[in-house]
């Protein structure tokens, strides 16, 4: 991983073998990004770990409402975006493997296959954090 910072933006270059979410979390820590927006993310992963909500009734247990996907093979990442609150990225991803398009909440363990390029916009004028809301859904709040 290599990072570059200019004018409130942190550019993150991930190389083969880097872990996407873990590296972006490290970049936020290294560049003091407490609150920010991931405005751009592209690359390829050699595996894809995501979850998505598959229900509308939202049972209390998160395990009962989320589908976890762990997919091997090369995945072309067409978009990663989300919010950083309390220094923690909450990101969603869209990726394609030549036959299937998958989208969902980016999880740990996604290894970069060829490259990854991400842009984080730091927001220094206010702070956001997440706290449990209705149905144990994590909600953004102004700190």
The closest of 108, 54, 50 to 79, measured between CA atoms, is 50
Q: What is the pLDDT of residue 62?
A: 64
Considering Cα of 101, then 22, then 133, then 136, what sign does the dihedral take?
Answer: positive
For residues 89-118, give the mean pLDDT: 98
pLDDT digits (tens, 9 = 90+) for 109-138: 999 999 999 999 999 988 999 998 877 788
For residues 96-118, give the mean pLDDT: 98
d(CA 95, CA 45): 9
Query: Quick check: 106 pLDDT over 90?
Result: yes
Per cent of the chain over pLDDT 90 is: 83
pLDDT digits (tens, 9 = 90+) for 8-44: 999 999 999 999 999 999 999 999 999 999 999 999 9
Identify the CATH number of the domain in which residue 119 sits: 3.30.1330.80
Domain count, the chain: 1
Domain coverage including residue 120 = 2-142
């Amino acid at each position: 991983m290599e990072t570059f910072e200019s004018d409130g933006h942190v550019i993150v270059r991930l190389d083969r073998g880097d872990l996407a979410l873990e590296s972006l979390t490290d970049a936020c820590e290294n560049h003091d990004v407490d609150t920010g927006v991931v405005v751009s993310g592209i690359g390829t992963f050699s595996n894809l770990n995501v979850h998505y909500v598959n229900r509308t009734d939202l049972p209390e247990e998160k395990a009962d409402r989320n589908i976890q996907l762990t997919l091997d093979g090369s995945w072309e990442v067409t978009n990663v975006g989300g919010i950083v609150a309390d220094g923690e990225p909450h990101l969603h991803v869209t990726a394609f493997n030549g036959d299937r398009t998958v989208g969902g909440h980016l999880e740990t363990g996604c290894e970069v296959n060829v490259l990854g390029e991400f842009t984080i916009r730091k927001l220094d004028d206010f702070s956001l954090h997440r706290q449990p809301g209705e149905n144990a859904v994590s909600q953004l709040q102004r700190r």
